[in-house]
Structures are given as C-alpha cells and as structure tokens.
C-alpha cells in the first residue's frame, strides 16, 4: 500500500484513506478500532484489476480523534461522503466485522440502487438480540465483560489480546503479529472504542440486510466457529444472500488467498 490522502468529512474531521488501482471500484471498510492496514493483502491482489479504496474511520488510525460520531450511523454517513468525494460509481462494499453495519448503513441512507454488491464479513445485522436462537456476536454476559474491559487502556489491551488469540486467528500468532493487532486496535482510545462497542451492540440493520437480500447480489463470509448459529439464521432471514465459511474472524488476513478467491468469484458473478 502506498501513500494515502485525507478527506474532510465535516468541519475539523479528516478521514485518512487509501485509493489504488483502476477499474470497477471495491471499498473495504475496517471493523471496530482497526485501520486500512488490515487489508494489505486485498490491496495487493485486487488493485491489479480494480480501483481499491479503504479508510480509517473517525477516531481510528490516522483519522481525526473526535468526541462525537463514534457510532456506525455516523460512520455510514462518512463513507457516503467519501464515495461522493472520490466519484465512485457502482462500488462493491466490503465490510469487516462491525463495519458490516457501516455498509448496511449506506443502504439505510441511500438505498440499494447506487451499489453493485455488498459483502459482509462475520457479523450479523443485529449483533446483540438477547434471543438464544439468533446468530449474535456475543451473549449478554460476554458483551458486558467485553465492554467493561474497555474502561481502561490496560483492559483494552488485554481484551484485544484475548480476542486476537481466541477469536480472530486460528493459528498461534507470533509476538510481532500479536503486537501489531493490539496496536491496531489501541490506536483508538479506550473511551472511543467503548462508544463504538455500545453503538454496535444496540444496532439493528436487519431491515437493510433484507433490502440487500431482495435487490442486490450479496455475500456473507462467516467464520467456521459461527456456522452453527449463522447458517440457520441466514436461511431464515436472508435466503437469497450467498454464504461462505472460512477460518476465523480475521480470515481475510490469515487466509488471504482463499478469501481473495471467494471475493473474486463473487465479483465475477456481477459482470
């Protein structure tokens, strides 16, 4: 990935973004507290034949740290403005984890017509329903423990270390890899990370996911560990949207060749 640029999404709030390659546009949106750097393997692969864009959401990475707007409704509006700023026509949106809510938020803001397709990575459209039959990110006790850990910088480091080892990646991480993952997340202050967490868990984008299911080519890439709950949930609510099972929560980084092949195949069906 090369040198990025900055875009002022509103007065005093700049978003850092990367924009490489030429061709039909793909926009990759990093999840909770992470940055464009997580998509290094996707930039290298897809920018050969596509215009590939990603950005650091507000309060994440190199973008402006702010006290307000650390939620996925605002992040969706920021993404819409970036799409307009770059003049992207009919993009494919790819949201990882909580950023799946961001791409469904684009549908809430603008409908499905301006988009070519949507790919969401390992995130249900209503992340915390309280219903045991649903595919959710956590159960309520797990969500409470995760949120409480974010009250201090040390707690933030510790919970992301656990999450990286137990949820994100299936193999043993080297110390350098673990340090990089933790530093990615903790570049967002713990109070902003907590605000994003609360916004995520109290979101419900199932109506937007259903709109995509009816009107657009869509794909869920789901971690193997989520399959038991995700597959019946998706069949019940979103039967027209494709599903692929692959690896852990960070599968596009851990298994880039397999993930890129899945996304290549999805994009080929859009032609």
Q: Which helix (H) or strand (E) holds 105?
A: helix 99-110
The verdict on residue 251 lying in a domain is: yes
CATH number of the domain that residue 226 is part of:
3.40.50.1820
The chain-wide mean pLDDT, for the chain, equals 96
Q: At what angle do helices 175-186 and 153-163 cross, to 10 degrees?
A: 130
Q: How many residues does the chain have?
A: 271
The verdict on residue 255 lying in a domain is: yes
The model's pLDDT over 106-135, given as tens digits with 9 standing for 90+, comes to 999 999 999 999 999 999 999 999 888 999
The answer, yes or no, to whether residue 200 has pLDDT greater than 90, is yes
The verdict on residue 143 lying in a domain is: no
Predicted local distance difference test score (pLDDT) of residue 132: 86
The verdict on residue 144 lying in a domain is: no
> What does pTM read for this prediction?
0.96
- Residue keyed to tokens 């190199």: 62
The verdict on residue 118 lying in a domain is: yes
Predicted local distance difference test score (pLDDT) of residue 3: 72
The model's pLDDT over 166-184, given as tens digits with 9 standing for 90+, comes to 999 999 999 999 999 999 9
The verdict on residue 148 lying in a domain is: no
Average pLDDT for residues 8-27, to the nearest whole number? 97
The answer, yes or no, to whether residue 271 has pLDDT greater than 90, is no
Question: Number of structural domains, the chain?
Answer: 1
The answer for residues whose C-beta is within 8 angstroms of residue 77's C-beta and 6 or more apart is 9, 105, 109
The verdict on residue 242 lying in a domain is: yes
Average pLDDT for residues 10-36, to the nearest whole number? 97
Phi, psi of 83, rounded to the nearest 5 degrees:
-60, -45
Sheet holding 218-222: strands in order across?
Answer: 5-10, 13-20, 51-56, 25-29, 92-96, 117-121, 218-222, 242-245
The answer, yes or no, to whether residue 35 has pLDDT greater than 80, is yes
- Identify the CA nearest to 26 among candidates 59, 52, 62: 52
The verdict on residue 183 lying in a domain is: no
Structural domain range at position 23: 5-126+203-268
């Amino acid at each position: 990935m090369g040198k990025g640029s900055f875009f002022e999404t509103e007065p005093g709030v700049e978003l850092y973004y990367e924009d490489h390659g030429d061709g039909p546009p793909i926009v990759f949106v990093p999840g909770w507290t992470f940055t464009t750097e997580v998509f290094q393997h996707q930039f290298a692969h897809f920018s050969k034949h596509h215009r590939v864009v990603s950005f650091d959401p507000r309060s994440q990475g190199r973008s402006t740290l702010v006290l307000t707007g650390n939620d996925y409704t605002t992040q969706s509006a920021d993404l819409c403005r970036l799409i307009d700023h770059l003049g992207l026509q009919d993009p494919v949106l790819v949201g990882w984890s909580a950023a799946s809510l961001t791409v469904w938020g684009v549908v809430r803001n603008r409908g499905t017509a301006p988009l070519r397709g949507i790919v969401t990575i390992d995130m249900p459209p209503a992340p915390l329903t309280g219903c045991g039959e649903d595919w959710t990110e956590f159960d309520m006790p797990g969500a409470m423990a995760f949120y409480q850990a974010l009250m201090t910088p040390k707690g933030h480091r510790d919970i992301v270390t656990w999450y990286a080892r137990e949820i994100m990646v299936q193999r043993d991480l080297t110390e350098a890899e673990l340090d990089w993952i933790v530093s990615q997340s903790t570049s967002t202050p713990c109070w902003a990370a907590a605000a994003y967490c609360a916004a995520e868990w109290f979101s419900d984008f199932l109506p937007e996911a259903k709109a995509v299911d009816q009107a657009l080519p869509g794909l869920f890439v789901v971690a193997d560990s989520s399959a038991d709950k995700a597959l019946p949930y998706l069949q019940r609510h979103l039967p027209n949207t494709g599903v692929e099972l692959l690896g852990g929560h960070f599968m596009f980084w851990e298994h880039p060749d397999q993930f890129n092949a899945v996304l290549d195949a999805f994009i080929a069906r859009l032609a």
